[in-house]
Amino acid sequence: MDTYQDELLQQLKKFRTQKIDPTVLQDEEKEQFRMEIFRELGQLGYTGMVLPERYGGAELSFSDYCLALTELAKSSIAYAVTISVSTMVQTLINIYGTEEQKQKYLPPLCRGEEIASFALSESSAGSDAASLKTSAKKVPGGWTLNGSKLWISSAGLSKTYLVMARTGESGPKGITAFLVRDGAPGFSYGKNEKKMGVRISPTREIIFQNCFVSDDQVLGQIGRGFNLAMEALNRGRITVGALAIGLSERALEESLKYSMGRQQFGKPIFEFQGIQFMLANMRTELEASRLMVREAARQFDLKKQDILLASMAKLKSTDTAMQITTDAVQILGGVGYTMEYPVERLMRDAKALQIVEGTNQIQRVVIAKQLEKETQM
């Protein structure tokens, strides 16, 4: 790790322990997202980390961005998830947007004054994303959207929504991406999900009823929306891996601290081999996951979109986070199961990461597809 990365992580550690830790427990209970925390993260340059400086970004590498997300996730994955989803949309605007779109949407997002959401999933199109039904019909000067999207992170908070809608044939080739603004006529919010974890970050339905969007709100080419979404998810899956590393690191830290302090049978429970073997496995699996996520991010920095590695890194790191956080609860025993210690929250949050940005079963589907391609080459 170089000095620059060290400084970045020190600054984030200070921020999260001073600004997030003191209220994280009550905010999770009350489902309270603090916009002032997000804005401050923006002022420090963390809400447009990989975006060009000319649009207000920090122009960091994808690897540094992932390191920062890991550090932030050690306090709560909620703000890190908000940043990672918003950054996914910002990145697509930067790659596929017109100059006008970049000028309009990116600066407030990079400065942390606004948040963006990614809207792909629907009630009957989750893993099978290409079967989505939300429609966009051509009308003079623009498009009319009808339908609804489910499980949208930051919905209600976000000002910009990247919405994948059907403009043509069934399947992946008939989908186009639209940039929809909060407050557009015909755009409304549905139910706010009551979740097992990550409660600071809202997850909500969004609804379109004859919602008009103009031609200049189309992102990229007509019919290429599915490809854009998949490209975003390749990046998103690595960032989910980075969050999983943060959860695992925190769970291991808490387990070590507790096992060295807790006395049973006349000695710290750390001295029992049963506990030592659990801790040794936790550290080993964490390190394996970290290396995979780091390598997946490095490939992106080398401008190589490695679909296989992105999915494998997401799969390995999030399954590992589930195992490590579960073991952490076990090591802390009775108190681990209470809200007095953070490990039960880490365990609930880890579950979300096995599901978002494509379930871990879908990651295996993606991996198998890539294996098939490699074999045919």
For the segment 110-129, give every residue that binds ligand COS (CB under 6 A). Answer: 120-121, 127, 129
Give how many residues touch ligand COS by CB under 6 A: 20
CA 214 to chain centre: 29
Task: Work out how close the CB of 369 gets to ligand COS at its nearest, in angstroms, rounded to a whole number.
Answer: 6
Closest contact distance (angstroms) between CB of 88 and ligand COS is 9
Is residue 213 within 8 A of residue 143, CB to CB? The reply is yes
CA-nearest of 90, 75, 91, 93 to 37 is 75
Question: Token pair of 6, please?
Answer: 């060290």
Task: Return the sign of the alpha-carbon dihedral for residues 270, 271, 272, 275.
Answer: positive
- Alpha-carbon distance values, 180 to 73, 137, 183, 206 (Å): 29, 15, 9, 11
Find the catalytic residue in 122, 231, 285, 357: 357
147 or 358: CB nearest ligand COS: 358
* Region binding ligand COS by CB under 6 A among candidate stretches 27-35, 63-71, 245-253, 358-366: 358-366
**Max intra-chain CA distance, the chain:** 80
Residue type at 279? L
CB of 90 to ligand COS, least distance (A): 15
Does 355 bind ligand COS (CB under 6 A)? Our answer is: no
Q: Measure the CA–CA gap between 152 and 85, rounded to whole angstroms.
A: 10
* Shortest Å distance, C-beta 354 to ligand COS: 12
| 271 given a catalytic annotation | no
265 phi-psi bin (left φ>0, alpha ψ -120 to 50, beta other): left
Stretch 291-330: interaction string toward ligand COS, x if CB under 6 A: ----------------x-----------------------
The phi, psi pair for 212, rounded to 5°, reads -85, 130
Among residue numbers 159 through 188, which ones bind ligand COS (CB under 6 A)? 172-173
State the minimum distance, in angstroms, from the CB of residue 125 to ligand COS: 9
CB closer to ligand COS out of 234 and 248: 234
**Residue 119 · residue 149 · CB < 8 Å:** yes
Nearer to ligand COS, 172 or 268 (CB): 172
Please, which residue, 221 or 338, has the CB nearer to ligand COS?
A: 221
Output the smallest distance, CB 2 to ligand COS, in A. Answer: 31
Tell me the residue number closest to ligand COS, measured at CB: 358
Supply 216's token pair.
């200049």
| 25, 184, 230, 367: residue in contact with ligand COS (rule CB under 6 A) | 230
Q: What is the number of H-type helices and E-type strands within the chain?
A: 11, 10
Mutual angle of helices 77-96 and 225-261, in 10-degree steps: 160
The correct pick among 64, 114, 231, 319 for binding ligand COS (CB under 6 A) is 231
Report yes or no: 337 and 305 within 8 Å, Cβ to Cβ: no
Q: Which of 62, 226, 258, 300 binds ligand COS (CB under 6 A)?
A: 226
Enzyme catalytic residues: 357
